[in-house]
Structure 1
Amino acid sequence: MSPTRKWLPGRASAVRVGVLLWLTIVWLTLWGDLSVGNLVAGLGVGTLIMLTLPLPRVPVSGRLHPLALAELIVVSSYYALESSLQVAWFAIRPAPPPVSGVLRVNMSMKSDLVLVLCADVLNLIPGTMVLEIDRERCVFYVHVLDVSSEAAVDTFYRTTRRLERLLISAFERPAEWRSTRTTANPEVNP
């Protein structure tokens, strides 16, 4: 390592600073008062949290693609709004509640981080909740509010596939991916 490289902040340092700033912002928001004392206390509490409750390192490979991320944000916001209206309609319509069920979704993501982001995006869509993730087989089990027809099930799968494609294109394009994860069973290819 060159002497100049030693002083440049790396990705890990940038993440630590970002987490500390985020924790400080949360502290300030909870107190509802922007003052020097609250800022210093937020930095202190954030540092204490980071030292006493460290998060495990998540291997990150590839790079962020801003245009694909912007499309992902727009599309997932649209799906969340559309689902909210659907759930509201189910609540006020003069009919029995829809048939709900658990559907299995096979995913093709390579990164644990992107897999968790996908679960988070699916959980943000009203009417769906990821119940279980089988990482070895890369499978989600998702509770879906409406599985009363083939069209409703197909719509769910189309939505999930589109979100998966957008997440892969935003975070783990195949040309940039190098696997940092090792599996217990090398024959399993997620």
Structure 2
Amino acid sequence: MSLSRLLNRDNVIKVGLLLWLTLVYMALWGDISVGNLLAGLVVATVVMVALPLPTLPGSGRFNPLPLLQLVVVSAYYALESSFQVAWLAVRPAPTPVSGVLRVNLSTRSDLVLVLCTDLLNLIPGTMVLEIDRQRCVVYVHVLDVSSDAAVDKFYRTTRRLERLLIDGFERPVRTSPTEVSR
């Protein structure tokens, strides 16, 4: 069997998952030893065989620079909104107006759609209520929609997170020469 066949995408993902599950097993036991390593490999193998994950279509790519930016940006948004939620809880004013906003996403990937909704759920003050995959629309409950500026900020945040996810996981759309000349 050739090396390129061994290193195909599915095999690399399976080995990565096996190693991850083994590390989780060892972390749960809190002991780094050969016995725990071997037991972790056995448990991870049993889990992978008994509970196989569905395969995702392999049309994407992995670009680490936008993903590094995504980690920094999403951590910043989570901290910023945590302080905003805390301030809204203790300030001597009435509670803000909350509402449900519709976000039209431009992704072509189910993976990016799921990751984007997960990131939106991690930001305090927001909660994804519904996902319409066919239209690529997400309905999000937002804590503060009391002003146009607050709504615009939410949409800017969502667009930035989505753009970083698309840059990190999707292949660029190839345009034909006739599309470029129009």
TM over 0.5: yes
Question: Does the 8 Å contact 2:22/2:37 carry over to 1?
Answer: yes
Does residue 31 of structure 2 align to residue 12 of structure 1? no
- Structure 1: state its 5+ residue gaps: 178-190
Deviation at 1:109, TM superposition (A): 0.3
**Distance in 1 between the 2:79 and 2:155 partners?**
18
Aligned counterparts of 1:168 and 1:100: Cα–Cα separation in 2: 29
TM-score by length of 1: 0.84
| Structure-to-structure mapping, 1:11-160, within 5 angstroms | 11-160=9-158
What is the aligned residue count?
Answer: 175
Assess if the C-alpha contact under 8 Å between 2:59 and 2:171 holds in 1.
no
Distance in 1 separating the partners of 2:160 and 2:92: 32
Q: Shift in Å at residue 176 of structure 1?
A: 6.2
- Alignment partners' CA distance in 1, 2:25 and 2:45: 12
The answer on whether the counterparts of 1:60 and 1:113 sit within 8 Å (CA) in structure 2 is no
State the Cα deviation string for residues 45-89 of structure 1 (Å, max 9, x = none): 211111111111110213222222222222111111111111121
Q: Output the TM-score relative to the length of structure 2.
A: 0.87
CA contact (8 A) 1:63 1:176 kept: no
3-state SS, counterpart of residue 2 of structure 2: helix
Does the 8 Å contact 1:20/1:46 carry over to 2? yes
SS in 1 for 2:138: strand
> What value does the CA root-mean-square deviation take over the aligned residues?
1.9
In structure 2, the gaps of 5 or more residues are 176-182
| CA–CA distance in structure 2, aligned partners of residues 176 and 118 of structure 1 | 23
Q: Which one has the bigger helix percentage?
A: 2
Structure 1 pair 35/96, CA: closer, same or farther in 2 (3 Å)? farther
1:99 Cα deviation after fit: 2.2
Match of 2:162 among 154, 161, 164: 164
Do the aligned partners of 1:114 and 1:168 also contact (CA within 8 Å) in 2? Answer: yes
